[in-house]
Homo-oligomer: A and B are copies of this chain.
Amino acid sequence: VLTVDQIPWFSSACHSQAWLVGVSGGADSVALLHLLKAAGFLNLTVCHLDHGLRGQAAAGDAEFVKRLADQLGYACEVAQGNVRQRMEERRESLETAARHERHAFFAACALKYGCQQVLLGHHADDQAETVLWNLLRGSHGLRGMQTVQKFTTETGVELEWIRPLLGVCHSDLVRWLETGGHPWREDLSNAEPIAIRNRLRNEVLPQLAEISGRDAVAALGRGARVTEEWLELETWALAQTTVLDPQGRLHLPTLRGLPRALQRRALRRFLEASGIRAADSDLLERGLSLLEVEHPAVINLPGGGKLRRRAARLSVEPG
């Protein structure tokens, strides 16, 4: 059975500091809140957003969360969003609009309570599903959610998402709640995407486990950790290396001496510094082809600019 000391973040964090906690009323976030209480966190503000998608049932959720916060002796902030209106006004998808409403809500809480840290109930199954979905559509290996992630909202508010339960699976949280006799709200509107991710979770992950006789959720979690460490290694290694010349151009002889992962990271950083934020792996591959002198000396950039090789340097020419 799950215990509080199995959650590393709990012992590393300051128990008297102020923290915001996102609580929908569902099992995961309710378990997070009770676990925080059990671990001795004193100064929490429970934050609950009604996305405005479920009418009356949502009012019940908000009531449940308010009562729970009250019972546990924590402050509570409840707000009403309007995802549908935002979808229409800004032509956003349900998923995007819901996410932006949540960000705006947490930004408002952060300003009101003078606290940037937001604790969230994401767990190992969420992580496995995220890792698998990122793997299928991306080119960064097994990227998942991070336990601590700095984030700036659209409106420029700096937040820090903190996910203490990323190593704990959903069924262990439910068992823990049941053992403690803690109720939660079922069938919450999870204004999240949906079909694909749900099918990855409900069909693929159990099937992987059944076929392999291994814990697929744990394997994907390990994969996400090792990938995070590799990205950290890239950052570190790039900081050890001077790849720009005094004029701020990419120095090709230096770049050629680096391993491929670092070449790619250096080029991405260089393009970002030149205002090219959309450097996908295709663009990076084309950009790195400039390292070879037998290749053409210029490639086109999104936005009309060019990346040009001249005098053993790469530089960006604006469009």
CA distance A109 to B29 in the complex (A): 62
CA distance A159 to B136 in the complex (A): 34
Chain A interface size range: 35 or more
Q: Are B136 and A230 in contact (CB under 8 A)?
A: no
Q: Are B226 and A136 in contact (CB under 8 A)?
A: no
CA distance A274 to B213 in the complex (A): 34
Chain A positions near chain B (C-beta within 8 angstroms): 132-133, 135-142, 196, 199-200, 203-204, 207-208, 211-214, 216, 219-220, 222-223, 226-227, 229-230, 232-237, 240, 258-262, 264, 281
CA distance A122 to B213 in the complex (A): 25
Are A260 and B237 CB-contacts (below 8 A) given A139-B222, A219-B135? no
Residues of B within 8 Å of A136, CB to CB, are 208, 212, 214, 216, 219
Number of copies: 2
Residues of B within 8 Å of A137, CB to CB, are 212, 214, 219
CA distance A137 to B214 in the complex (A): 7
Q: Are B216 and A208 in contact (CB under 8 A)?
A: no
Residues of B within 8 Å of A262, CB to CB, are 233, 236
- Given A141-B223, A196-B211, 17 new contacts (CB under 8 A): A135-B219, A135-B220, A135-B223, A137-B219, A138-B219, A139-B222, A140-B226, A141-B227, A142-B223, A200-B208, A200-B211, A203-B211, A204-B211, A207-B207, A232-B259, A235-B259, A236-B259
Q: Are B139 and A229 in contact (CB under 8 A)?
A: no
Contact check: which of B212, B219, B264 meets A200 at CB < 8 Å?
A: B212
Residues of B within 8 Å of A216, CB to CB, are 136
Which 8 residue pairs across A and B have the least CB separation, nearest first?
A229-B261, A230-B230, A233-B261, A236-B259, A136-B212, A136-B214, A199-B211, A233-B259
CA distance A15 to B272 in the complex (A): 42
Q: Are A233 and B232 in contact (CB under 8 A)?
A: no
Contact check: which of B204, B220, B237 meets A237 at CB < 8 Å?
A: B237
Residues of B within 8 Å of A222, CB to CB, are 139, 281
List the B residue with the shortest CB-CB distance to A219.
B136
Contact check: which of B139, B196, B223, B229 meets A226 at CB < 8 Å?
A: B139
